[in-house]
Structures are given as structure tokens and as C-alpha cells.
Structure 1
Amino acid sequence: MTATTTPPIPENRAWKALGALSVGLFLTLLDQSLVAVALPRIREDLGASLNQAVWVSAIYLLTFAVPLLITGRLGDRFGQRTVYLAGMALFTAAALACAFAPTIELLILARAFQGLGGSLLNPQPLSIIHRIFAHSRRGAATGVWSAVASSAGLFGPVVGGVLVGAVGWRAVFFVYVPLGLISLVAVARYVPTLPRGASRIDYLSGVVSLIAVLGIVVALQQGPELGFGPLIWLSLAGGIAALVLFVWMQTRSTAPLMPLRLFETHNFSRGAFAVFTLGFTVYSVNLPIMLYLQTAQNMPPETAGLMLVPMGVLSVLMSPVIGRLTDRVAPGTISRIGFASMITAMSLFAVFMIADATPWALLLPILLFGVANAMCWAPNSTISLRDVPQDLVGSVSGVYNTARQVGAVVGAATLGATMQLAVTLTGFGTAMGIAILLTVVPLAAGLAAVSRFR
């Protein structure tokens, strides 16, 4: 057996390692919807302005998304286990600081460090999966990763609503502390110290990548809030220019941060684009759905949150099963069905909202969305990363996670701007339906990409 097919640890220990890693992955992605529920109470308790309250979420997303290209490569250089533990320690300590923050300014500062901790740990599980599992078992393992990555945001509104309503907004941050400590202990015990890949990192490229992602993400994230004025366009133009410079530098560097030979792997280049379209859709549609249920249908927030539970449960239960199937069927077969199902679900959401259907009618697309989630994420991750060079797994994970996260930012900005415009031109429910219908376009492009898997 070759090195790429022989796992470094027994499979039962590998599954325990994956469970420990999944706790951190779940927490970093749950945060993006969990904390949003607490913002009104935070604003009231700390006497914060609306803009300050928005930055409690925005600063986390910035410090989480911007460094992902670098933090993925850091795993290659210093070891995925080491970087994960450092990230989880920072994330947990910052969460504790958030829970005790006496002012809005200190809360925002602690959130910045929490996002950085999340960025350090987030790319590592996917890299470790492809090093501790045999080639034939990566589909099942990636299915678990996909279940966590695709469903974490769906549970945020429910968990957040319960914690804020029953205990208070500080409980949202306190809950991270015991879970973070559990993950630290379990990862230290079960995840092995793996051979390091990169001998050094091109830090100049890293700085340029930070500028590129920062410029683009700030423009897309803050544009709808601040209005697309000259500064926003300058940020976007600067980010794009830095991105072009970054790509050029990768062709000249002896230790590139994002080796362009990654994209010579046929399935990875298609899968990275497809996960962008998934991030665009999955991380942005919760807002119009929740607004429709609560505003257009006058549903209590707790009930509206519970409406989304079947979506998350179906995704969690099905993803490992779909992952195992991915190892046995032709590449792209399940992905095509998944993307087509997600397009159908988004279309049904739009039709029902525009028709002012009862909330219970939405259960059909909600259930279909949960199934489609599992059929899209698990196969896409497995097929995209299964055959990339082992010495570049950190870079691969950083690029893949960056594509997902930038897709989420672009989706949130696009749907947010569309909702604001449409609601001035038509009824509220129709405006929410139009916003969701926009996701069909990137999903169709994603379907075209996965149809070319081989």
C-alpha cells in the first residue's frame, strides 16, 4: 500500500479525532448566526448604537474570513494539530472575554480575536481528514465534516433564541467555553502530530492576500450598510487589484501561499467554484426565510426558529450516509442531484413567498433544502479534495474554505441589497421571494461545475 492509502492511525482513533475537530468547526460556523440573535439585547444592555451592534458580528466575519488563505498554509508549516489547538485556545479565551465585556468597545475587540481564533482552527479539520483516513474512507469522513459545515448556521437562530430568552445575551458566549475546552482536550488526545509539508511561507504574498480579501469583503459586507459610496468602491477596486497582484506573485514565488498547480487538479478547480455557490446560498437564505415567517406571517421568533430545525436535522443525518455513497458511485452523480434539488427548493421558497402561502407550506422546501444540503456539501468536498497533492492539503483547505466564506459574504450582501430594494417596490413577502430567487443563478453555475467532475 502507498503512503496516500495507508492511514497513520487506526480508523477508530481517526473517528474520535474527527469528532473532536468537529466541535471547533461547529462553533466557528455556528457563531455567524448565533450571535446575530443576541444583537438587539446587546445593544440595549450596553447602550450601543446600531452601527456598533452591527460591528459585533461584522468584525468576527472579517477577522475570520480574511486570513483563511494564510491560516490554511500555517497548518502545513507548523502542523495542523498545533495550529488548531492555538486557534481553539484563542477562540475560547476571547469568548470568555466577550461574556464579561463591560462595554461595547471591549466586546468588539474581543470579537476580533475570537474571529482570528476561528480562522486559525477552521481550515485544519479538512486537512487532517485527508491525512488520517484511508483514501477509500475519506468520503464517509468528509460527510461528517460536511454535515457540520452545512448545518451549523441552521441551528444558530434556535440556540440563540433559547439562550438569550432564558438566560441573557452573555450566555451566548459562555456556552463556547466548556465546548472549547472539551475540544482542546480531545484534540490533544486523539489527533496525531503529522509530518509538516511547507518548509517556509511567503509572508509577503500573505500580506497581499490579506489586503485582497479584506478589500473585497469589506466592500461587499459593509456596502449595503453604508451605501455604495466612493470609499466602498475604492475598497473593492483595491481588493481586486491586490488579488491580481497576489496571483501574479504566486507564479514567481519559490514558496507560494496558493500554489497554482492546485488548480491543475481537475475536480478541485470545479469544486472550489461550486462551494462558492453553496456558501452564497446556504449562509444567506436564512435571513429572508426568517423575516418572511416573522414579519409577513406574524410568527413568533421561537416558532420561526423551530421551523428550520428539520432542515438542519436532515442535513446532519444524511451527510455521513451520502459521504459513504460518494466513495462508491461515479463522481458527480450525487452532486448533480443535490444541486438540482437545491435549485428546486429555492424556487419553491420564492413561489410560496410571492404567493403569500401559509408558513406550513414552506415545510416542503425546508425539507427538500435539508436533503439537498447533504447531497451537495459532502460529495463536493470529498471529490474536490480527494486527489490533491498531500503536501498541499493546508493550502487546499485554506483556498476551499476561503471560497466558501467569500461566497457567504457575497450572498449576504447580494440578498441584503435585493431585499432592501425590492421591499420599496412591492409587498414584503414578494420581496423576500425575489431575494431568494436570486440564488438560483449561482446554483445553476455550481450545477454546471459539478457536472464536469470526473
Structure 2
Amino acid sequence: MERTARRSLNNMQSTNIIPLALAMLLASLGTSIANVALPTLAEAFSAPFPKVQAVVVIYLAALTVSVATAGKLGDRYGLKLMLIAGLATYAVASVLCAVAPTLPLLICARALQGAGAAFLTTLSMALMRQTASEARIGRAMGMLATVSALGTALGPSVGGLLIPMTGWRGIFWIQIPLSVLALALAVKMLPADSGKIRASSLSFLALMNWSLASNLLVNAAVAAVMMTTLVVGPFLLGIGFRLTATQVGFVMAVGPVLSIFIGFPSGRIVDALGSRRVLTTGLALLAAGAFLLAGLPQRLGVAGYMLSIMVLTSGYQLFQSANNTAVLAESASDQRGMISGLLNLSRNVGLIIGASVMGAIFAFGVGTEEFAHAAASDIVSAMRLTFLVAAGTMLVAIAIMIERHASAGRQP
């Protein structure tokens, strides 16, 4: 009887994963699928690149400012109910994007889509923690990391296939049936909320302590380093190594593809070894990967770049699974939405820092903002400077985690 009960519980948890994974896939797909359409949008609306770039930036900005609110609303009104509301918002916004007659209206619709995506990423993580057994939290977090990487990797590929056949509107039409499917599955498969509206007695500041703050700070630093590879990599590969656009895309896909394959195993490793060991190992690999990126591509060319990215990506996946598991495992059941919101907020802040601050360091190293006219040697030199700074950032992150664990050990 006990074995039958355990089997039925595992089956119930497996069905819960389907709508949560699909919700996370949608949010990450929305992040990357519009990038490939920017040249088409510039032509369709006769707009300069900085204006059409807002279609991508506004999504990330809306997602960033909404994640904390999404988590707070989930804790107060119910995680399932708010996830359903987020999926409905995302579906409506996708329709508005697909039919937008002007660029400003498209940008507004993308802002709404980003706000809906905040509910998807935040509440999927909180619900996954709620439904997973204690022994399988790491695997659950690893599964979400894998799905997120899959969505990010699929976005440019799916967009590249659809645009020649359907135009730019096709990249939004394709998201509508996926949103509706995720909505229907969430309604049917996810366990019902308690039915009680909980007064939100705690603020985000009241939740904060050194343990949580250190995890959030390191989470932002890791995200900044990973975004740096997306900002700097195309210039090193295209200008420094003179690869074609197709070749650059192929090499840049190495990281996301590797993430797909090691996301779930990284979660199993967390369950087996504990989040503390895996988190430290992940940060060590991130530091090693950043140091390799600072020097190995100069010696081995593209092969050196790919090898460095593989080390960096492995560390990132281990860190993500361990950090999310550690933070959510320590959270109370009525605070998981807010904690998930803070995790996503710190990650998105890190992405913005990586794109802006680390991008500025790279530009300083090149010596000019006109990268197209820069010498290959200047690009390689700027790459070395940027990733030495990134490696130093990871060393600081390791020091923060060592102090965090030491202070936890000193507590009675």
C-alpha cells in the first residue's frame, strides 16, 4: 500500500511538471524569439534599429520590474490562480503583438507580454518547489533550468523558420496556441490553492537577511557574467575571428544546447550531494570559464572559445540548480512566491548589468564604439580585459558564499 501511494504521488508530481515546464518555456521563448525579427521589423515599420530594438528591451524590462509583484500576489491570492492569470495575460498580449498595426503599439503589447512572463517564471518556480518532494527539489529546479535553456535556444531557430513564411507576425501567432494549451493544462493538472486569501504581512525587506541577500547578490553576478558572453561573443567571433553570421550563430548555440543536456543531471547532482557543495563547484567552474575566455581563444581560436564556453555553461547550470534549491528549500510555504520573485529579479538585474556595465568595459577595451571599424587585435584585447573583470567578479562571489556558509555555521 505504501509503495502504491508513493507511485501515485510521483505520478501526480509528474503531471504537475507539464504545465509548469510549458509556462517556463513560453517565457524564455518570448525572450529570444523576437531578436531575429529586428531587421524585418525595421524594414516593415521603416524605423531605425534603436527604435525596433525596444521590442526586445521592453519585454525584459517589464519582466524585471514585475517579478517581485508577481511573487507577492501569488503568496496572497494563490500560486495557481496567479499563474493562470499570468498565462491569460501572456496569451492576450501575444494576440495584440500579432495584430499590432504600428511599432509603438507593438512595443506596448510586448511590455504586457513581459509582465505576463514575470508571472510564468516566478510562479512556475514556486509551484515546482511546492509540488516536488524534499528529495527531488534539485531535480525539479534542474528541469526548469533545462526548459528555460531550451526556450532560449529555440527562439532564434523557430523565428528564423517562421519569418520567411509568415512575416514577423508569425513569431507571435505561434505563441498563442502554446499559451492556450499551457493555460488549459494549468487549470486541469495543478492542485487547487487553499482558497484562503492570505494577508501579506511581510514586505520584501522583512524577508531579507544575510543568507538570502548573499544568494541574490551572487545570482545577479552570475547572470551578469553569462550575459557578457552574449554581448561580447558575436564581436569576437565575427570581427576577431572573421566568421560569417551563420558560423557565429552556430558557435553561439553551443552554450544553450549544452544547457539543455546538463540541466536535469545538475539537479540530480544537487539532490545527491547537497546544494552547498554543488553551488561552490558551480562558482569555481564559472570563475575557471571566465579566466579561460580571457586567454584561451587567443591561443586556440574558435576551439578555445567553445571549450571555455562549455566550462562556463557547466558551472552556470550547476550553480542555478543549487542556488534555486538552497533558497527555496529554506523558504516558508507562504513566502515561496515572493522568494521566487526575488530570485528572478536578481537574475534580470544581473542580465541588465551584464549588457550595460560589462558592455561598456568591452567598448573601453576596444577604444571605440564603432566596432565594425576596429582591428581584430583590439577586439581580442578587449575580450581579455572584459573576462578578467568577469573572473574577478566570480572570485568575489566565491568569497561571499564562503562567508555566508561560515556565518551560517557560527549560528547556534
Does TM, normalized by the shorter one, top 0.5? yes
Q: In the TM superposition, what are the counterparts of 1:353-372 in structure 2 within 5 Å? A: 353=297, 355=298, 357-372=300-315
State the 1:449 CA deviation: 3.3
Distance (whole Å) between structure 2 residues aligned to residue 152 and residue 317 of structure 1: 13
Local SS of the residue matching 2:273: coil
**TM-score normalised by structure 1 residue count:** 0.79
Report the equivalent of 1:238: none
Letter in 2 for 1:279: A
Match of 2:130 in 1: 131
What residue in structure 2 maps to residue 218 of structure 1? none
| 1:66 positional shift | 0.8
Q: Return structure 1 stretches of 4+ with deviation > 6 angstroms.
A: none
Separation in 1, partners of 2:197, 2:72:
8
**Number of paired residues?**
392
- Aligned mate of 1:397, from 327, 336, 340: 340
Counting only pairs closer than 5 Å after superposition, residues 3-402 of structure 1 correspond to structure 2 as 10-149=9-148, 152-164=151-163, 167-195=166-194, 199-201=198-200, 255-258=201-204, 260-263=206-209, 266=211, 268-353=212-297, 355=298, 357-402=300-345
Give the match for residue 243 of structure 1: none
Matched, 1:406 2:349: yes
Q: How far did 1:163 drift?
A: 4.0
Change (3 A) 1:179 1:133: same
Determine the C-alpha separation between the residues in 1 that align with 2:378 and 2:163.
Answer: 31
Letter in 2 for 1:105: P
Aligned-pair distance for 1:429? 3.0
For residues 424 and 431 of structure 1, the distance between their equivalents in structure 2, rounded to whole angstroms, comes to 8
Superposed displacement of residue 159, structure 1: 4.1
Contact 1:155 1:312 in 2 (8 A): no
| C-alpha separation in 1, matches of 2:388 and 2:180 | 41
Comparing 154-163 and 16-25, the one that deviates more: 154-163
Structure 2 match to 1:436: 387
2:372 maps to what in 1?
A: none
Deviations 1:311-361 (A, max 9, x none): 2232222222221221232442122221111111122222144x2753233
How far 1:103 sits from its partner (Å)? 1.5
Q: Give the distance between the partners of 1:447 and 1:390, measured in 2 at CA.
A: 29
Displacement of 1:378: 0.6
- Aligned with 2:34: secondary structure? helix
| Matches of 2:150 and 2:127, distance apart in 1 | 20
- Letter in structure 2 aligned against 1:31: G
Partner amino acid, structure 1, of 2:352:
V
Contact residue 143 and residue 319 of structure 1 kept, 8 A: yes
Q: Which amino acid letter does the alignment assign opposite residue 47 of structure 2?
A: A
CA distance in 1 between partners of 2:390 and 2:196 (Å): 38
Aligned-residue CA RMSD (Å):
2.5
Give TM-score, length-normalised by structure 2: 0.87
What is the DSSP-based 3-state SS (H/G/I as helix, E as strand, rest coil) of the residue aligned with 1:439? helix
Task: Give the distance between the partners of 1:49 and 1:68, measured in 2 at CA.
Answer: 30
3-state SS in 2 of match to 1:450: helix
- Asked if the contact 1:59–1:112 (Cα under 8 Å) also holds between the matched residues in 2, the reply is yes
Which segments of 5 or more consecutive residues in structure 1 lack a partner in the other structure?
Answer: 1-5, 202-254
Give the secondary-structure state (helix, strand or coil) at the position aligned to 1:47: coil
Instruction: Check 1:289–1:93 CA distance in 2 against 1; reply closer, same or farther (3 A cut).
Output: same
Residue identity opposite 1:395 in structure 2: M
Quote the Cα distance in structure 2 between the aligned partners of 1:196 and 1:365.
Answer: 50
Partner amino acid, structure 2, of 1:263: N
Q: Could you give the per-residue CA deviations for residues 169-195 of structure 1, whole angstroms, max 9, x where no partner exists?
A: 323222322222221122122111122
Aligned CA distance change for structure 1 residues 321 and 356 (closer, same or farther; 3 Å)? closer
Amino acid at match of 2:86: G
Secondary structure of 1:283 counterpart: helix
Q: Residue 84 of structure 1 contacts residue 121 of structure 1 at CA under 8 Å; is this kept in 2?
A: yes
Q: CA deviation at 1:167?
A: 4.9
Q: Are 2:262 and 2:317, in contact at CA under 8 Å, matched by a contact in 1?
A: yes
Quote how far apart the aligned CAs of 1:389 are.
Answer: 1.4
1:71-113 CA-to-partner distances (Å, cap 9, x unmatched) read 1110011111111111112112212222222211111111111
Unaligned runs of 5+ in 2: 369-376
Change (3 A) 1:163 1:415: farther
2-side partners of 1:305 and 1:165: how far apart?
18
In structure 2, how many angstroms separate the alpha carbons of the residues matched to 1:269 and 1:145?
22
Task: Note the C-alpha offset of 1:440.
Answer: 1.7
Could you tell me which amino acid in structure 1 is paired with residue 231 of structure 2?
Answer: L
